[in-house]
């Protein structure tokens, strides 16, 4: 299975960590799983998150693969090869941080780091049946992470357990101090469109949690998804559009990049208005509830043979992308299903309240598992 793109042995004897190959590691090239970056120069210094890991004694063992240029949701990569989904063979590993999720599902590391611009931590975590966390935008340093300029992207961890995910946050974010697990919490359940089998699993988990539940509906949720696409397209083209001239960008990504280059200033301005309105909606809901809850994905992960057209399957991010636009922290919790396929329960917290969000998630899991 194509997960590791470069083997490393950096750091002490602590936790084993692998990182997505959009994160700089001194002395290695950051290639973002793209032939167009085959001749990229070696990084002169570590990204801040890598430096923090090494300073804490973690052992960095590898850089891992991704959907080319982090511009896709399936994880399918015809250049480096597609990371196999260890728990659900034949299903997509999700993208763009496919290798980061697959490495945890395969037991190759204690935790891993990916990046999330439009669901790129939460989608692969859901597909591979592990925990994945997108911190509040700007909470975790992105210095030394590709792309250098973004209003959406966040570095976030994957782990097989919530306590390990919390541990990962303490290592990559010096300001993160785990919160005490609350006895009670108010959960706003967001009304969204998803397959009945997915809704059944999520509803069952929330009901079993015994937490106080209430209904939430957002007027601008759909518009936020569309606006998020506009912003991602503009910012990805600004960062990577020049690579089209190499002729070495994969055909699927090249087509998306070329189309992204047509994003107008007017469309971007309208997207920013939606960002403001949707953010206000989420902020207001989080004055009534401790966290918000909804599925991570609207359906089960696709089979690899059914996911070849990246643009045709972007709808799999319909429930995650809006929270990149708003910047709120978001966690996906792995759940099982009668179909034997993965389901994700997504929890959203107030901006800057990452510790509280993870503590409420711990209470929910403790209640479910007794």
By annotation, the residues acting in catalysis are: 20, 96, 120
Q: Point out which residues pair with 19 in neighbouring strands.
A: 63, 113
Whole-angstrom Cα distance, residue 204 to residue 109? 31
> Cα separations (Å) of 312 from 190, 228, 308?
25, 17, 8
What is the secondary structure of 281-330 as a DSSP string?
HHHHHTTT-SEEEEESSSSPPPBGGG---TGGGGGGGTTTTHHHHHT--E
**160 in helix, strand or coil?**
coil
Continuous H helices in the chain: 48-55, 98-105, 122-128, 162-172, 196-209, 221-240, 251-260, 265-285, 322-326, 354-369
Kind of pairing, strands 59-64 and 4-11? antiparallel
Question: What is the side-by-side strand order in the sheet with 131-134?
Answer: 4-11, 59-64, 16-20, 111-116, 154-159, 131-134, 330-335, 343-348, 291-295, 186-190, 212-216
Whole-angstrom Cα distance, residue 323 to residue 282? 9
């Amino acid at each position: 299975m194509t997960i590791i793109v470069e083997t490393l042995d950096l750091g002490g004897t602590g936790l084993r960590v692998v990182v997505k190959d959009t994160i700089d590691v001194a002395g290695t090239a950051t290639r973002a799983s793209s032939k167009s970056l085959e001749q990229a120069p070696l990084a002169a210094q570590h990204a801040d998150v890598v430096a923090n890991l090494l300073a804490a004694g973690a052992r960095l063992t590898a850089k891992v693969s991704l959907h080319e240029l982090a511009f896709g949701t399936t994880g399918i990569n015809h250049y480096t090869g597609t990371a196999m989904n260890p728990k659900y063979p034949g299903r997509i590993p999700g993208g763009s941080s496919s290798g980061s999720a697959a490495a945890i599902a395969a037991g190759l590391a204690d935790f891993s780091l990916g990046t999330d611009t439009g669901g790129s931590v939460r989608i692969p975590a859901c597909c591979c049946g592990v925990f994945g966390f997108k911190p509040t935008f700007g909470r975790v340093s992105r210095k030394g992470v590709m792309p250098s300029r973004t209003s959406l992207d966040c570095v976030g961890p994957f782990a097989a357990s919530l306590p390990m995910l919390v541990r990962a946050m303490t290592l990559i974010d010096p300001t993160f101090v785990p919160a005490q697990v609350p006895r009670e919490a108010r959960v706003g359940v967001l009304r969204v469109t998803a397959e009945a089998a997915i809704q059944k699993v999520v509803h069952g988990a929330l009901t079993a949690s015994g937490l106080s539940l209430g209904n939430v509906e957002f007027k601008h949720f759909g518009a936020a998804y569309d606006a998020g696409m506009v912003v991602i397209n503009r910012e990805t083209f600004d960062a990577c559009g020049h690579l089209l001239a190499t002729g070495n960008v994969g055909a699927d990504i090249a087509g998306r990049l070329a189309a992204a280059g047509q994003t107008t200033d007017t469309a971007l301005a309208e997207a920013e208005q939606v960002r403001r309105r949707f953010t206000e909606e989420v902020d207001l809901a989080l004055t009534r509830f401790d966290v918000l809850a909804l599925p991570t994905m609207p359906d089960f992960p696709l089979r690899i043979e059914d996911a070849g057209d990246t643009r045709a399957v972007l709808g799999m991010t319909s429930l995650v992308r809006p929270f990149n636009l708003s910047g709120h922290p978001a966690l996906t919790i792995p759940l099982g299903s009668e179909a034997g396929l993965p389901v994700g329960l997504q929890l959203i917290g107030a901006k800057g309240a990452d510790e509280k969000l993870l503590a409420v998630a711990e209470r929910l899991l403790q209640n479910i598992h007794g």
